[in-house]
Structure 1
């Protein structure tokens, strides 16, 4: 027996069950229940447009009927390459209706990434933004003889809405490529739907790319059972009520936005507020207009609201449940956001491989800060979930010891698409080796210190980049910091910091080196500091250290 077998985190459950009874077997069941119970209620708010559950059902029927008519088979992939637009949800549900596997691709992908995606997933159908198709995909389909996508449907980010907000759509026009099928025209002409193809809890509900912080992402096979379990986790652990609007503050082609907005809306029979992209001013306007109760996103989205919009704490008040995932929150940032936006931002933690949350800070509790490392807790494991901290050999470490987090539970995916080697390495025995380094305290709170691949080895000593970043963030002139390892002839590796200054910041690079040297052990402080305008991040706000390492 170890401390993890005792599950000390249960003491913080506040009456929530240790075992969660899942209400729906598949995501399709969740959607059908929403349509049956509330057909005329709003399912999506998109600027000045509102789509009801019945209208969303009709639109997805149209795409499903097209897929069947064009020979789409059960198990085929339908690639979705749109922003936070209604078209994504239409394509997602259509894929489920025909027994297919919706497969999400970032609409910001460049040509090489699109080529890799199409070869990796061999989709039979593609639903893409019209500009992405014309600017990137069309040439790939014409020039790469081994890539073919028989069914191509295109949509415009302007579809459905009529406001044409220049902050979101400056320079955007409807292109309607003549060699593709236009989504809105298809939906307008549709009548009737052929028979559904059944899906089961163990079937793949969606393929989603992992964070890809070390290269091309792996494709996580998220089952319907994974999806329904963690969708319900969001509802039951936050206490959201049916009908309360949900703000999609994270990209819905990523696991956080998909589960914490799209499928959560289905389960709650609540409207999902979509804003095409995460533009702070547009998001602030949507909060004023639609009064969403819940959001989950990378901390950068909340920083954007605080620093780049005109929103006030009073206007933010309807958004009573604000969660941040993707990366641990720095305590100083959490405090600043609470003051600027008038509400506490709760941590939530998980990976694509855990279908979003494995840990959460329950509403009403504040995440503790570890006195020694200065790290804010990412939360406690959710229902039916066990997390252990292990050493390099896989043995359980004692309370407070730093090691790799290993997660098991109903939300852990069965494997990666077409990648048995990665599946065997990361998901052996149904447990996920997260690659995140952290520890559990005596009360069952978990803390993430760093990624295992980011640890710096200086003369045999381990340097956690996050620890150096915390020191830098305490300097009054520093807005953001990222630390990576660089070659060092004497030590093997040393730390280098990339720093973004506040608008009025005037500190110099040598002064920051001296600042850290005065506050850290000799082997830890960064030997170099480089001031930069911004740090490289993924679409979900996750720091991409590999781009700093070159």
Structure 2
């Protein structure tokens, strides 16, 4: 559908929602764009024509409420079609979509609302809102969205520039509070190399994604990418059961299946793969966590289907991968996709790319259209990740002689929890407010050879004996579920440097 080569720049006037929907609605309006599957046989099917109409209607309604170009619209909704409708409607209207997780507490959501300066928030009934934070802002609930969808549609998508802001996503950084990553409309154009060189995406594909609507992995790989190629998306909204995924592949004849490695592991453990026909599946795709060689071998042996890994981050689209044309090297996420400029830079000094075999910071050139516009109101953090013409995300890696990337750890302490980036500072800030905690630190902890969880390392106050369950509950009341520790380890003291800084990398060693 989009014939330009993957490394060409986007058109100067470019709207991401129009790119994904307008041509599809015109050429095949009745083709399923989104199939939402619930428990049992219940399914909601939206065609490209229906999605296009709903998106333009909600876009018109948002503008009628007095929102101006560039205004942020925070989305705090569940795993339903309206999440995608509102997201694309904001883009279609020239507003800035701000997706967020319904798992956030009211206090966490209030911080994002205040930090972004969002003019409107669209929230599900079950998502709690802080009344004070919402003061003076437009608040829309599901009934309001239904009313907007039934109204007149915007006659045309906003005439935005490729560099105009399109969406703002919050991610954990090196501070105790999440930071906003601002992307332009060109970000979807920047995803095109992965369509061919990771997903192997075709217009005839049916893409089953195991994530929920609010996750950027799902919004990108599960919705934006298929729609950019005119393919059909299938998402599941029912009870989370690993055994359901082979059944869904069979029922909807899915050709691509996307998940995190931990879910592939659960499918192998709990699902009966022989009970379903997986013949339609060309391959599985995975990101968010490192894919262990053992899991890769186990999945391939059990299904006979390839599994292709990719590496990406909130600040730039997935840019390193394997695919049908790039052989898998177990333990490596792959090679830079054609059209990408990727380098290994020395951690200190001049940003001159290193040779193969040398370890340094994994970097993406600032010319990549998928790269963020910047961090929202965080110029100091933005400056910290830019090295001349290169963006560095904190991963230490090296290239081998074949151009494959091999990880050597991180240059900072940001954790990876089931595909979400989580700042230890943010979790620690909650942990140490418990009345029985003298000191606390958080780090990843290996519980099996290929499974790592967030662990809290706690020094109790003298005379107290806090219980593991109480500390976990304390965090669960104040943090989104994916940020919460899964393990608690009690220590007499935290390991520190001579200058008094906690050495997170030595926490597991201190625990014995």
TM-score range (shorter-chain normalised) is 0.7 to 0.9
3-state SS, counterpart of residue 107 of structure 1: coil
2:22 matched residue in structure 1: 32
Alpha-carbon separation, structure 2, partners of 1:92 and 1:364: 33
3-state SS, counterpart of residue 63 of structure 2: helix
1:274 matched residue in structure 2: 235
Pairs within 5 Å for 1:54-73? 54-73=49-68
Pairs within 5 Å for 1:496-511? none
Alpha-carbon separation, structure 2, partners of 1:220 and 1:249: 24
- Show structure 2 runs of 5+ residues with no match: 38-42, 415-442, 459-471, 490-503, 508-512
Tell me the CA shift for residue 400 of structure 1: 1.6
- Name the Cα RMSD after superposition: 3.6
User: Which whole-Å deviations, capped at 9, do the CAs of 1:178-221 have from their partners, x for residues lacking one?
Assistant: xxx4433543x424446653212111221112255864322111
1:103 matched residue in structure 2: 98
Contact 1:297 1:324 in 2 (8 A): yes
1:87 matched residue in structure 2: 82
Contact 1:62 1:191 in 2 (8 A): yes
Label 1:127 to 1:243 Cα distance change in 2 as closer, same or farther (>3 A): farther
Alpha-carbon separation, structure 1, partners of 2:247 and 2:311: 28
2:190 matched residue in structure 1: 229
Q: 2:220 aligns with which of 259, 268, 284?
A: 259
1:388 matched residue in structure 2: 343
Alpha-carbon separation, structure 2, partners of 1:251 and 1:438: 30
Q: Which moved more, 1:314-323 or 1:201-210?
A: 314-323
3-state SS, counterpart of residue 315 of structure 2: helix
- Show structure 1 runs of 5+ residues with no match: 1-15, 156-180, 370-375, 456-464, 474-478, 488-531
2:31 matched residue in structure 1: 41
Q: Which moved more, 1:204-213 or 1:217-226?
A: 204-213
Q: Which moved more, 1:47-56 or 1:289-298?
A: 289-298
**2:260 is the counterpart of 1:298:** yes
Tell me the CA shift for residue 262 of structure 1: 1.1
Aligned residues: 432
Alpha-carbon separation, structure 2, partners of 1:236 and 1:540: 33
1:217 matched residue in structure 2: 178
Pairs within 5 Å for 1:154-193? 154-155=141-142, 181-187=143-149, 189-193=150-154
Label 1:539 to 1:255 Cα distance change in 2 as closer, same or farther (>3 A): farther
3-state SS, counterpart of residue 209 of structure 1: strand
Contact 1:454 1:484 in 2 (8 A): no
Label 1:439 to 1:226 Cα distance change in 2 as closer, same or farther (>3 A): same
Tell me the CA shift for residue 77 of structure 1: 1.0
Alpha-carbon separation, structure 2, partners of 1:318 and 1:540: 34
Alpha-carbon separation, structure 2, partners of 1:432 and 1:407: 5
User: Which whole-Å deviations, capped at 9, do the CAs of 1:98-131 have from their partners, x for residues lacking one?
Assistant: 2100001111101221111111112222222221
1:240 matched residue in structure 2: 201
**2:278 is the counterpart of 1:316:** yes
Label 1:40 to 1:486 Cα distance change in 2 as closer, same or farther (>3 A): closer
Tell me the CA shift for residue 151 of structure 1: 2.7
Alpha-carbon separation, structure 2, partners of 1:432 and 1:126: 31
Alpha-carbon separation, structure 2, partners of 1:86 and 1:149: 27
Tell me the CA shift for residue 404 of structure 1: 1.6
Q: Which moved more, 1:324-333 or 1:247-256?
A: 247-256
Tell me the CA shift for residue 300 of structure 1: 1.6
Alpha-carbon separation, structure 2, partners of 1:288 and 1:94: 32
Tell me the CA shift for residue 295 of structure 1: 3.2
**2:386 is the counterpart of 1:431:** no
Using the size of structure 2 for normalisation, the TM-score is 0.75
Label 1:324 to 1:381 Cα distance change in 2 as closer, same or farther (>3 A): same
Q: 1:450 aligns with which of 384, 395, 409?
A: 409
Q: Which moved more, 1:210-219 or 1:30-39?
A: 210-219
**2:158 is the counterpart of 1:197:** yes
2:123 matched residue in structure 1: 128
Tell me the CA shift for residue 240 of structure 1: 2.2
3-state SS, counterpart of residue 403 of structure 2: coil
3-state SS, counterpart of residue 363 of structure 1: coil
Contact 1:292 1:318 in 2 (8 A): yes
Tell me the CA shift for residue 353 of structure 1: 0.7
Q: 1:399 aligns with which of 356, 361, 365?
A: 356
Contact 2:18 2:157 in 1 (8 A): no
1:476 matched residue in structure 2: none
Alpha-carbon separation, structure 2, partners of 1:28 and 1:84: 20
Label 1:231 to 1:89 Cα distance change in 2 as closer, same or farther (>3 A): farther
1:441 matched residue in structure 2: 400
Tell me the CA shift for residue 442 of structure 1: 1.1
Q: 1:148 aligns with which of 135, 143, 147?
A: 135
